[in-house]
Amino acid sequence: MQDILLALTLAAGVLGQSSSTYVDSNTGITFQSFLDTSKDVFFGIALPTDTSDDVIGQIVGPADASWASFDFGSSMINNLLVVAWPYEGQVIASTRLTTGYTAPPEYIGSAAIKPISNGTFVNSTHFSYTYLCTGCAIESSSLRDNVGVFGWALSTTALTDASTTSAALTYHAAGFGAFGLDIDAARSDSFGSWAAMAASSNSTIPTIPKPPGSNSTLPVTTSNATYDYIIAGGGPAGIIVAQRLAETGADVLLIERGPASTYASGGEKVLDWNDTVTQYDVPALAYSLSSMDTDYCVDTASQAGCLLGGGTMVNAMMYVPPQPVDFDDKWPVGWKWTDVVASAERLYTKLPGTSVPSADGERYDQGAYDVLSKFFDGLGWSLTDIAESPDNKHNTYSHPHWSIGNGKRASPVTTYLPLAQSMPNFELQLETKVMRAVRNGSYVSGVEVETTAGNRQLINVNAGGKVILASGALSSPRILWNSGIGRSEQIQVVADGQTSVILPRESEWIDLPVGEGVQDHPIVTLKFQTGSLPALASAAFTNPSINDTEMFAQGEGLLTQSGQRLNFWSSAEASDGATRYFQGTCNAPSNNTVQMKIYLTHGLTSSGDLTITSAGNTEFAVQPWLNTDADREALATFIDQLLEYTRTSNSSLRYTSSTGTNDTGASLLDTFVSGSHFVGTARMGSDEGSVVVDTDTKVYGTDNLYVVDASIHPDLPTGNTQAIVMVAAEHAADKILAASVNGTEATPSSKFTTSRVIRTGFTNSYSQKQRKRHMHLPRAGRRSMLRSGLRSF
């Protein structure tokens, strides 16, 4: 590795940069290469001169890394990924397919990798994986360009099981980026002889097979405590429903698989410049969380937050109130806008959101807004207040409306949860994963959970009690499949898998379309050059000035805002006669540049299917983005209109792209990324057999199992899903409270004198008074108290 460091001086993360030639002394292979000296990672490729689809690649990373990867494209969607990591003196490698901002599933296409042994090793400082990838060029459009743009990523967070090629990848917080390589310079007449080294290699990719779950069991204990309601998932829907149920006096247990998030809830990821807030508290860090040690799930098909508050802790805080059409188009009777409007008002009373989060009433860093508002004014579009006029979404623009309160990120964690925690009949259990609902025929007696230490426990409901799944659109289906609910193909995967889940008898499996029809907002990003527009560097948010931190301490200033500077909406009728909506979120990513992220939203018809792997991960069997002609036509046409607007002589914006200025809407569709706004994996409806839950949110075929998160939503809204998920959760609470179990209502009882929090096996009754007292301790003393378990929620 030392001679690599001497030979290369490429800068990280720069697109289209000139590549460097490097001859590997171990193999003699000449690579076109990229080196990030700050992260100590190296990536190289060599290509044949003929039309072969084979590629030779090399990945070199620090020996203490958990993994490093080379992406055969630059986006996070539909690209082949080669991942390698050191394990007990060997190198394990795996091919993956990027599907979004999440742990990528294993690749199952025709391309295959084989190591070249002389270039594959682990020493005291680095590991190296050199490989022949047959058929890789078919999977990479970047290899067909003169300068190919590729991606890389590095993680230092330990893998859960590094011994197997199917290990779920941890988040790449240690580093990631994109770089350009000279494709013509990578071609060599010696490729055939280099490739022959792989064919003659005795090296194989080591792996330790895991026994199927049907042949192994884990010891399971039973909790002494029982509850009237058990909610699986501490995201926005779970917290809202838990609070609404607890206020009736019923015993409620809310289970969250991740840790606390905000500082007030006990989160520990505090900042160097303010140790009384976590990275999740500060609105200005929303756009930077992907480069931080963030609590994302590693076992879901796309990005999801695995922490208290779920997606509301890792999103960019767009809080777009749903409009009547969002419910009236496809939601069933009992869930139309006139039915849910009272629920929406209850939500907005507790969590109103704001477009002016700074306590001094000022908006900061408004250069992008000034440029873009003039641009849209010139098109005849109108300024609106999207909170006051949520149904005004045709050719309008608005200041962003955020879920921010008192200068910090606001969510059910900061509003509903404290109300629940003030009640003696409410309990929160963190760092505990719900594996399944325990079924006896149609009746659910409780849940089986697993702690971070791997311990399993049964927790039961009282007579007349209910279990409510609120783990999100990408995780609630897993619990359903693990409970013997869904299509037999997925349940059989669980039966034959590695998760030691005990299923009901096959005769008791409930056949429902779990995972089918998942939808999401696709996003295409456009960048435009404009006049004099200074942009703030990312360090202004991640390493803020003293002035900005002092203002933030007063609830004021730049840090109280999220990253968007202007939002816009439009709509159009497509060729299939359906109206589709578009949303834009805009900012200034660099000097003299504005960026528009274009969402295709309500009215889209594309959908996909979610499935489960033998390891218990959810992944897409069919991807949900832009797979209908009308959706592709509608989004391409809208993008073309925007581009046309900017190509007029008097436009203040000029389109810019690494691929040139002649892009069209159709050509840009392939650059889309996921909005991570997934809905519909356990759809609600009155047509039993074609949907999963009824209009009370109860799972068909069960007596007392409910779902309340985005998985039940039968449609996508015209804006971000955050607000509509909360409105639906408020309404679902009414439905659940009105329903009985075989004529039996849960009887409220109070078993505890204070609200409790359990974190992986210990009980906490630390009071708010104690919390206030310890907040005056020096930081070191306070953190030691938190580590010892003295925590208030």
Look at residue 217 in the predicted model and tell me its pLDDT: 56
Between CA 239 and CA 255 the distance in angstroms is: 10
Question: Does 644 have pLDDT greater than 80?
Answer: yes
Q: What mean pLDDT is predicted for residues 185-207? A: 75
Where is pLDDT greater, at 379 or 11? 379
| Most confident region among 162-176, 213-227, 711-725 by mean pLDDT | 711-725
Where is pLDDT greater, at 778 or 337? 337
pLDDT tens-place string over residues 418-434:
999 999 999 999 999 99
Pseudo-torsion of CA 547, 550, 555, 560, nearest 10°?
50
Q: Quick one: which of 338, 309, 470, 476 has its CA closest to 403?
A: 309
* Encoded tokens for 790: 């003295």
Look at residue 76 in the predicted model and tell me its pLDDT: 59
Look at residue 625 in the predicted model and tell me its pLDDT: 97
Residue 199 pLDDT class (50, 70, 90 cuts): low
Look at residue 470 in the predicted model and tell me its pLDDT: 98
Look at residue 788 in the predicted model and tell me its pLDDT: 29
Which of 39-48, 475-484, 565-574 has the lowest average pLDDT?
Answer: 39-48
Runs of H (alpha helix) within 381-441: 416-421
pLDDT tens-place string over residues 255-288:
999 999 999 999 999 999 999 999 999 999 999 9
Q: What is the 3-state secondary structure (H, E, C) of 331-354?
A: CCCCCCHHHHHHHHHHHHHHCCCE
pLDDT tens-place string over residues 339-354:
999 999 999 999 999 9
pLDDT tens-place string over residues 672-724:
999 999 999 999 999 998 999 999 999 999 999 999 999 999 999 999 999 99
Percent of the chain with pLDDT over 70: 87
Q: What mean pLDDT is predicted for residues 738-760? A: 58
Check residue 168 and report its DSSP letter: P
Are the C-beta atoms of 235 and 305 separated by less than 8 Å? yes
Q: What mean pLDDT is predicted for residues 731-742? A: 88
Are the C-beta atoms of 679 and 518 separated by less than 8 Å? yes
Between CA 453 and CA 447 the distance in angstroms is: 18
3-class state of residue 590 by DSSP: strand
Are the C-beta atoms of 159 and 168 separated by less than 8 Å? yes
User: Which residues are within 8 A (CB) of 748 and not within 5 positions of it... i.e. 6 or more apart?
Assistant: 228, 248, 249, 250, 251, 425
Write the class of the CATH domain 2-199. Answer: mainly beta
Residue 485 pLDDT class (50, 70, 90 cuts): very high
Look at residue 17 in the predicted model and tell me its pLDDT: 44
pLDDT tens-place string over residues 399-421:
999 999 999 999 999 999 999 99
Look at residue 171 in the predicted model and tell me its pLDDT: 74
3-class state of residue 639 by DSSP: helix
- pTM reported for the whole predicted model: 0.81
Question: Does 778 have pLDDT greater than 50?
Answer: no
Between CA 680 and CA 711 the distance in angstroms is: 5
Q: What mean pLDDT is predicted for residues 87-105? A: 83
Q: Cβ atoms within 10 A of the Cβ of 217, count?
A: 11
Are the C-beta atoms of 178 and 150 separated by less than 8 Å? yes
Look at residue 776 in the predicted model and tell me its pLDDT: 32
3-class state of residue 629 by DSSP: helix
Residue 405 CA neighbour count, 13 Å, CB half = 14
Q: Where are the beta strands (DSSP E) in 545-689?
A: 566-573, 579-590, 593-600, 608-612, 618-622, 654-656, 673-674
Look at residue 126 in the predicted model and tell me its pLDDT: 94
Q: What mean pLDDT is predicted for residues 655-666? A: 82
Are the C-beta atoms of 501 and 329 separated by less than 8 Å? no
Between CA 15 and CA 11 the distance in angstroms is: 10
What is the DSSP secondary-structure string of 696-738? TSBBTT-SSEEE-SGGG-SS--SS-SHHHHHHHHHHHHHHHHH
Q: What mean pLDDT is predicted for residues 746-773? A: 44
| Dihedral sign (CA 775, 777, 778, 780) | negative
Q: Quick one: which of 318, 317, 399 has its CA closest to 364?
A: 399
Percent of the chain with pLDDT over 90: 74
Where is pLDDT greater, at 734 or 743? 734
Question: β-strands 756-759, 762-764: how paired?
Answer: antiparallel
Which of 111-115, 123-127, 530-534, 759-763 has the lowest average pLDDT?
Answer: 759-763
Q: Where do you find CATH 2.60.40.1210 in the chain? A: 2-199
Identify the residue whose tokens are 């609830």: 555
Where is pLDDT greater, at 103 or 134? 134
Residue 453 pLDDT class (50, 70, 90 cuts): confident
Residue 213 pLDDT class (50, 70, 90 cuts): very low
Between CA 765 and CA 786 the distance in angstroms is: 13
Look at residue 790 in the predicted model and tell me its pLDDT: 26
Residue 50 pLDDT class (50, 70, 90 cuts): confident
Identify the residue whose tokens are 């720069």: 14
Between CA 450 and CA 625 the distance in angstroms is: 33
3-class state of residue 506 by DSSP: helix
Question: Does 37 have pLDDT greater than 50?
Answer: yes
Look at residue 110 in the predicted model and tell me its pLDDT: 84
User: Which residues are within 8 A (CB) of 487 and not within 5 positions of it... i.e. 6 or more apart?
Assistant: 511, 512, 513, 514, 515, 516
Look at residue 179 in the predicted model and tell me its pLDDT: 87
Look at residue 743 in the predicted model and tell me its pLDDT: 60
Phi/psi at 597 (5° precision) = -100, 115
Question: Does 635 have pLDDT greater than 60?
Answer: yes
Residues labelled as active-site residues: 677
Between CA 777 and CA 793 the distance in angstroms is: 18
- Identify the bridge partners of residue 450 per DSSP, sorted by sequence position: 433, 456
Question: Does 9 have pLDDT greater than 50?
Answer: no
Are the C-beta atoms of 233 and 471 separated by less than 8 Å? yes
Which of 49-63, 92-106, 327-341 has the lowest average pLDDT?
Answer: 92-106
Are the C-beta atoms of 157 and 172 separated by less than 8 Å? no
